[in-house]
Amino acid sequence: SDGTVEIPVVVNVLYRTSSENISASRIAEQIAVLNADYGGTNTDASSIPTAFQGVKAGDVKVRFRLANTVRKSTTKTSWSTNDAMKRSSSGGIDATSPANYLNIWVVGNMGQILGYATFPESSGLWNDGVVIAASYFGKTGASAPFNKGRTATHEVGHYLNLRHIWGDANCGNDLVSDTPTQTGPNYGTPSYPLYNTCGGVQRSVMFMNYMDYVDDAAMFMFSAGQKTRMQSVVASSGARSGL
Ligand code: ARG
Ligand code: ZN
Ligand code: CA
């Protein structure tokens, strides 16, 4: 084998309205976005600046396969990051074997929150997985400017041990050496170059990285260092070797 790990995915859909009950084709569309982004075959990879070509991940060698879809209707009008969607006892859907499947919960309104994820230290626990608000899942019918399926790309990055590229602090540390240090998150659709000064050094930040906060259309790469971090999680000695 070439070391590619195929992660089986269970999509748990909690819906109140028919638009929250996302279609099977929209789920397939989201899986396809994940496979393109983690395979480095996303067409917008051609927009990676020359200065970052040498540190792009290309193929992360992680792929995704839809194993099952579980649907449940609910009367809940909003959800939060308290994990209620992950247990039937609190109106949610219990995870399917979380050590062996990536569970994604798709829920209605979460206010300003597009999604959230657990890090590998939660591997196999009842709450392990990714949550995405229905409006930001998949592409067709999703809400601009977060309608290219990249919320899932970002959240699965966390699930595979990636930190935000700014290290959640002013010139913080994302534990990846080939992503330039940056002063904070970026939003919208910045243009390259975008200079930040950290530690007295000025250079353009990698705002087009999936682990920044830019719009879906403005993010299109992982770095080689991020690939190494994700690979060690799914390796036979890694925290997510059961996938
Ligand atoms: N704010 C969320 C998080 O920190 C997701 C951001 C996703 N960004 C996007 N362009 N879809 O996990
Ligand atoms: Zn994040
Ligand atoms: Ca870095």
pLDDT digits (tens, 9 = 90+) for 200-224: 999 999 999 999 999 999 999 999 9
ipTM over 0.90: yes
The mean predicted confidence, pLDDT, of the chain is 98
Q: Are 207 and 186 in contact (CB under 8 A)?
A: yes
- Per-residue CA distances from 12 to 20, 45, 101, 131, 206 (Å): 12, 30, 12, 9, 33
From the CB of 119, is ligand 1 less than 6 Å away?
Answer: no
The structure tokens listed for 130 are 């990714």
- Give the pair of three-digit tokens for residue 28: 């397939």
Identify which ligand lies nearest to the alpha carbon of 174. Answer: 3
pLDDT of 70 above 80 = yes
Residue 1 has pLDDT above 80, yes or no: no
Tell which atom from ligand 1 comes closest to the C-alpha of 116. 12
What dihedral angle (degrees, nearest 10) is formed by the CA atoms of 66, 68, 74, 80? -50
Residue 21 has pLDDT above 90, yes or no: yes
Whole-number percent of the chain with pLDDT over 70: 100
Ligand 3 centre and the CA of 66: distance in Å?
Answer: 32
What's the gap in Å between 192 CA and the centre of ligand 3? 18
Query: How far apart are alpha carbons 28 and 36 in whole angstroms?
Result: 12
Rounded CA gap, 171 and 159, in Å? 23
| Whole-prediction pTM | 0.98
